[in-house]
Amino acid sequence: MDSYWAAVVWSLLPTVVVLGLFIFVLRSILRMDRTERRVYSKIEAEERAKRGLAQADGDQRAA
């Protein structure tokens, strides 16, 4: 019976590792996108303020 459970573990291990890597990569991509959008919005708001333009619609909701 021990060899059965060992076979089950060794069979599932690659799937679990690939799933973990997939989740890590996807989470990193989503975080990077969120951070990039936040920085881009900040830069855009600064440029609008320099030129004396009104805030963008997204800026008014975030403030």
Q: What's the predicted TM-score (pTM) here?
A: 0.63
Q: 6 in a domain, yes or no?
A: no
Q: 21 in a domain, yes or no?
A: yes
Q: 37 in a domain, yes or no?
A: yes
| The one-letter amino acid at 5 | W
| Largest interatomic CA distance in the chain | 76
Residue scoring higher pLDDT (61 or 23):
23
Q: 41 in a domain, yes or no?
A: yes
Q: 3 in a domain, yes or no?
A: no
| The one-letter amino acid at 14 | P
Contacts of 63 (CB under 8 A, 6+ apart): 55
Q: 53 in a domain, yes or no?
A: yes
Q: What is the pLDDT of residues 19-58, one digit of tens each?
A: 999 999 999 999 999 999 999 999 999 999 999 888 877 6
- 37 burial (CB, 10 Å; 0-12 / 13-18 / 19+) is exposed
Strands, E, within the chain: which ranges? Answer: none
Q: 43 in a domain, yes or no?
A: yes
How many structural domains compose the chain?
A: 1
Is the pLDDT at 9 greater than 50? The verdict is yes
Q: 56 in a domain, yes or no?
A: yes
Distance CA 60, CA 44 (A): 13
Print the domain residue range for 30: 17-62
